[in-house]
Structure 1
Amino acid sequence: MTSPVHKSGYITYGKSEYVENIEDSGDTLAAINKSLKKITSQVPDDKQFKTEMDDFYSQVSRYIKEKVKSKELDWEKVKSPKPEYVIPYNQINPAKKDEVSSLLNKLAVIKLNGGLGTTMGCVGPKSAIEVRNGLTFLDLTVQQIEHLNSTYNANVPLILMNSFNTDEDTQKILKKYYNHDINIYTFNQSRWPRINADSLLPIASSAKPTAGAWYPPGHGDIYSSLYNSGLLQKLLDLGKEYVFVSNIDNLGATVDTKILSHVFDSQTDFVLEVTDKTKADIKGGTIIDYDGSIRLLEIAQVPKLYVDDFKRVKKFKIFNTNNIWIRLDAIKSLVEQKKLDLDLIVNRKTTDSGERVIQLETAIGAAMKHFEKAHGVNVPRSRFLPVKSTSDLFIVTSDLYILKDGVLTMNPLRTFGNVPIVKLGDHFKKVKDFQARFKSPPQILELDHLSVTGDVYFGAHVTLTGTVIIVANHGAHIDIPRGAVLNDKVVSGDLRIMDH
């Protein structure tokens, strides 16, 4: 790879005007308008930032109006999806071998890379966390696409949607791939100011990304940010027709040539991958038929009276994996026509200083209802393998999965196809602590359930089978000795063993 080249609002690694549209609608909106003008005046030459502030104003204006005229979802209109809304994966025809290369050359892969690793005790982008054999999320993603391109003699570019929180560190990390045979582009999602929960005025007084005052407004921002950066047009100029979008921490979200072929054969605009819901997924969004049209329903949109109904696995059998295939020219058309009014997610937070603030966010899947040709594909559970916690990390670092060419596949020696339930306590919450408490990853091929609470350490070559519960009460300490085999065991008390 060559050095990075800056192009408009995006950056590429590889071989190869703000207009005010503000209407005063009351004292609050006028005050917000005045505040935003003051902020944007500090960077008069940054047109992209001004465009972001224009978009933010539109959304906060919408939020204020919707608060006044709030209309709750009519639960009577919520129906199970029609058969044509969700197509089973096993009913899709495999890709023809002689067509795969040409189809791949019309595809780009976007990974959502705006999140930090703070929830797992890490500093910097979550994509930089080591997840397997010293390799990070980003390393594995690059390996996947490099292997895909070399196998099919294709040129699928990798695109990272960063946030202002992750961009600087990501740019430094990407230098390690300069000599790799892969084209990598980056662009930033928008940066919006948090607003005071009472006055609704931005708490930011400066255009600088001050900690706590600004936030990335959710992955639904991808449509406008991709367009505003100029990268969407760049991809179209390169002959790309579709993008495959997924979270960078979902290690199961690889390019599936079978789905790729289906996307082109059906000439669809938007395909959302869903998978069968389990009791662990009761909060996940689901595809529904709402008043005769397809849409994605999130739990935040469900009236409180019907939340338990929404969570029932029997009624809503599938949930959103956030793996999405989207036609690029359809995105361009909808953005230019300003038809992507995504459902607002109101995220209430409290700053370190105690100020109550609101973040207005949107989700990428909510755009489903705006695309003329949209449907879901019910994919195998293996395509949903996110690492949101060290409990998830425990699973992907174990012998349950085999790593090859950046792809994790379940070990064929696993008797059952399901993934065990693992719940590690607060002592394991941070990656550093998690790593220190295991001499080596335990063998869990026959594990069904693991629950660990308290100050517990595992020796090397431990085998866990069936249901294992380990509880070290407050002040107690438990060492699981080297080579131990725990089968349907409950371990509690205080156990200290010198590991030789």
Structure 2
Amino acid sequence: MATTTVDKVSKLQSALAGLDQISENEKSGFVSLVARSLSGEAQPIEWSKIQTPTDEVVVPYDTLATPSEDPETTKKLLDKLVVLKLNGGLGTTMGCTGPKSVIEVRNGLTFLDLIVKQIESLNSKYDCNVPLLLMNSFNTHDDTQKIVEKYANSNIKIYTFNQSQYPRLVVEDFMPFPCKGQTGKDGWYPPGHGDVFPALMNSGKLDLLLSQGKEYIFVANSDNLGAIVDLKILSHLIQNQNEYCMEVTPKTLADVKGGTLISYEGRVQLLEIAQVPDEHVNEFKSIEKFKIFNTNNLWVNLKAIKRLVEADALKMEIIPNPKEVDGVKVLQLETAAGAAIKFFDDAIGINVPRSRFLPVKATSDLLLVQSDLYTLADGFVIRNKARTNLANPSIELGPEFKKVANFLSRFKSIPSIIELDSLKVSGDVWFGSNIVLKGTVKAIANAGVKLEIPDGCEIESKEINSPDDI
């Protein structure tokens, strides 16, 4: 390392020594991340070395064996499993306060309610003991602690732990923002879900789970309604002793920026758009060459996590995330859990059906899952078989619908969209109840016009700009 880098790191260490809000583990993890970032260790991807993974590496879901239906065998299998939901995100983009997982999704139930119901029904059905872990951030910790109290009488053991809390770096001199007088929450950040592995270890939860005989952890985003426990996947991993599995699914034009799996120098690894040289970005986005993308549903062997964290071997690519707070340019260094795939032995991808990827990132996604496209049973969101098209309709809602409260107020009831291909809404549009939308529908209110679509209306493949068009 050049002297300047050594100087920067040692100045940083001195500054961190005075911050008592975080643990020694967090301080050393942060210093290691910054030192790696400064050393410029990242090796660019050599495009010519990228190979398409074979079916041995990215296993087609329909080739997985169906596990035994014997309840005792299933119980044994499930007793090796832990479910972990990434619960560090706030619902701010959808206009909500608190953890995103407490947004109501359907029938008055939140993401968290649905997750708990799903695991409750597994534990009851097979008399097994699948615990639920929630990885919070310092942003969601306090609220989540209060929320999980309502599940006190549930048949699930629920554990919560926090991912690391790192100080934002002031770009100008690479010093921690809290040392510059930014003592509130704005001085800190959670360093991405790649932190799940060290955070599991540092919280003591990893050793606790291993002592209970747990072998695999299923990690998924709390807002992905398709990320449910799958016995075929769990059984396959245990039989083949795969230490890590990433669920991937076929790309559509909506997913062109998602990371993909490649074979590179004899190992499977995740390729993210940020790693792609500029001249190959269009090729990366094409769905001809890179046909799959990462759903962030991950299955990982617990002993392997312990081995790699203890050896400090999980050096995932660093994602620099620049921000501006109160006019000060700051930097967050983050990592992603999917990038850890290359460090595990016998790691694979499984090419799963699209139904296992149903994230709710915006109110347009909420419209899909609240509509007649889906029903709810035991906490599981099940797609309506009456929809023959495998793809969901594409839905684009204007800024008037961005916040959940505004979205809900503009729909008396969610329209029927079984036969809808696409919907685009913008301007001051209001929907009555029992509306049916089919084909390609655009409701684009002219400036200054309040466009109200009346109750019971059926609209098929047309554009509506004013009440006269209905």
Tell me how far 1:302 sits from its aligned partner.
1.0
d(CA) in 2 for partners of 1:240, 1:208:
41
2:42 touches 2:317 (CA, 8 Å); kept in 1?
no
Partner of 2:18: 38
Going from structure 1 to structure 2, the CA distance change for 1:209 and 1:317 (only over 3 Å counts) comes to farther
Partner of 2:297: 323
Amino acid of the structure 2 residue aligned with 1:172: K
Instruction: Tell me, yes or no, if structure 1 residue 471 matches structure 2 residue 463.
Output: no
Instruction: Tell me, yes or no, if structure 1 residue 75 matches structure 2 residue 47.
Output: yes
Partner of 1:87: 59
Give me the identity figure in percent.
52
SS at match of 2:179: coil
Tell me how far 1:71 sits from its aligned partner.
3.7
Find 1:220's aligned residue among 162, 179, 194: 194
TM-score where L is the length of structure 2: 0.96
Tell me how far 1:409 sits from its aligned partner.
1.0
Tell me how far 1:291 sits from its aligned partner.
2.3
d(CA) in 1 for partners of 2:91, 2:468:
33
Amino acid of the structure 2 residue aligned with 1:199: D
Q: CA RMSD in A?
A: 1.7
Partner of 2:241: 267
Tell me how far 1:356 sits from its aligned partner.
1.0
Instruction: Tell me, yes or no, if structure 1 residue 119 matches structure 2 residue 93.
Output: yes
Find 2:110's aligned residue among 124, 128, 136: 136
Quick check: 450-459 or 197-206, which moved more? Answer: 197-206
Find 2:415's aligned residue among 442, 445, 448: 442
Partner of 2:426: 453
1:472 touches 1:494 (CA, 8 Å); kept in 2?
no
Alignment of 1:108-187 (within 5 A): 108-187=82-161
The superposition leaves residues 122-178 of structure 1 with CA deviations (integer Å, 9 ceiling, x where unpaired) of 000000100101100000000000011111111100100000000100000011111
1:39 touches 1:206 (CA, 8 Å); kept in 2?
no
Instruction: Tell me, yes or no, if structure 1 residue 370 matches structure 2 residue 343.
Output: yes
Amino acid of the structure 1 residue aligned with 2:50: V
Quick check: 73-82 or 164-173, which moved more? Answer: 73-82
Alignment of 1:270-289 (within 5 A): 270-289=244-263
d(CA) in 2 for partners of 1:216, 1:275:
28
Structure 2, unpaired ranges of 5+: none
Find 2:394's aligned residue among 421, 432, 454: 421
Tell me how far 1:207 sits from its aligned partner.
11
d(CA) in 2 for partners of 1:484, 1:105:
51
Quick check: 79-88 or 488-497, which moved more? Answer: 488-497
The superposition leaves residues 454-474 of structure 1 with CA deviations (integer Å, 9 ceiling, x where unpaired) of 110000000001110110133
d(CA) in 2 for partners of 1:209, 1:443:
49
1:399 touches 1:444 (CA, 8 Å); kept in 2?
yes
2:244 touches 2:344 (CA, 8 Å); kept in 1?
yes
Tell me how far 1:200 sits from its aligned partner.
1.3
SS at match of 1:109: strand
d(CA) in 1 for partners of 2:292, 2:183:
38
Partner of 1:491: 464
Amino acid of the structure 2 residue aligned with 1:402: T
d(CA) in 2 for partners of 1:406, 1:235:
25
SS at match of 1:235: helix
d(CA) in 2 for partners of 1:161, 1:247:
10
1:24 touches 1:30 (CA, 8 Å); kept in 2?
no
The superposition leaves residues 103-137 of structure 1 with CA deviations (integer Å, 9 ceiling, x where unpaired) of 00010000000000000000000001001011000
Instruction: Tell me, yes or no, if structure 1 residue 309 matches structure 2 residue 289.
Output: no
d(CA) in 2 for partners of 1:92, 1:430:
41
TM-score where L is the length of structure 1: 0.91
The superposition leaves residues 330-388 of structure 1 with CA deviations (integer Å, 9 ceiling, x where unpaired) of 0000011111111100111111x111111100000100000011000000000000000
Instruction: Tell me, yes or no, if structure 1 residue 52 matches structure 2 residue 26.
Output: yes
Going from structure 1 to structure 2, the CA distance change for 1:179 and 1:70 (only over 3 Å counts) comes to closer
d(CA) in 1 for partners of 2:398, 2:468:
18
2:5 touches 2:38 (CA, 8 Å); kept in 1?
no
The superposition leaves residues 5-59 of structure 1 with CA deviations (integer Å, 9 ceiling, x where unpaired) of xxxxxxxxxxxxxxxxxx995322222111111113xx6xx7xx12101100110
d(CA) in 1 for partners of 2:447, 2:370:
28
1:111 touches 1:245 (CA, 8 Å); kept in 2?
yes
Aligned length: 466
Partner of 1:203: 177
Going from structure 1 to structure 2, the CA distance change for 1:239 and 1:206 (only over 3 Å counts) comes to farther
Partner of 2:380: 407
Partner of 1:4: none
1:423 touches 1:450 (CA, 8 Å); kept in 2?
yes
Tell me how far 1:494 sits from its aligned partner.
5.5
1:218 touches 1:361 (CA, 8 Å); kept in 2?
yes
Partner of 1:14: none
Tell me how far 1:287 sits from its aligned partner.
0.4
Partner of 2:7: 27
SS at match of 1:222: helix
